[in-house]
Amino acid sequence: MSEKRRDHKGRILRDGESQRADLKYRFAYTDISGKRKEVTSWRLDDADPTPANKRKGSSLREMERQIGKDRYNHILSNGGECTVLSLAEKYIPMTVEVADCFRRIINRRKRVRTEPVIGGRVGFLFLDKNSKPTVAQHREKYNNDISRLPLPVITPHICRHTFCTNIAKNGMNPKMLQYIMGHADISVTLNTYTHVQYEDAEKEMKRLYGIV
């Protein structure tokens, strides 16, 4: 049996992980489009300190977890290295109103000296008072501040599920919907992102048979 690969601290490295001669960690993987990619970090685990004079960033295994989530959701982990607008204009049909909305957000976005980098990603649309990307917790706090009523957990990714469900209910061809969502497998579009209830099935049956 072959011996497990280890880092300079003696820790066992997982499949795809390696450590370079300069001690920087590397993770190689294949994205959903079949392309070979890699990410690097000076830290293996979240608890590892950042070496002196090196830029602080996500640990390698934090990036691996995000890549795993993206694979599950059939999302390109680096967004195809496109901006929001270029990605939409190249791959996704967008109304003029929506495109204008994104441009206004970009034009009004807080100006920062140094763009925040998380997992190799830059160009976040919404930044908080500390010039950090706004995350789900910020949204939940905002929701609770404007209402004393309990609200469901709402994140940007939930909006993606809602969009997919609403478009499916309005009768879009499933293959077209798969393309817009960017899913490699249509089963993800239909089984994971499309949420249909009994009332939806009842309404569709009535429509098919002309029942008022």
| Tokens 């599920």 belong to residue | 161
d(CA 129, CA 138): 11
For the chain, give the mean pLDDT.
78
Burial class (CB in 10 A: 0-12, 13-18, 19+), 90: exposed
Whether pTM exceeds 0.85? no
- Residue type for position 189: T
Write down the pLDDT at residue 82.
Answer: 57
Q: What are 101-152's pLDDT values in tens digits?
A: 888 888 888 788 877 777 666 677 778 778 887 765 445 555 555 556 666 6
- Please determine, for residue 5, whether its predicted confidence score (pLDDT) is greater than 80: yes
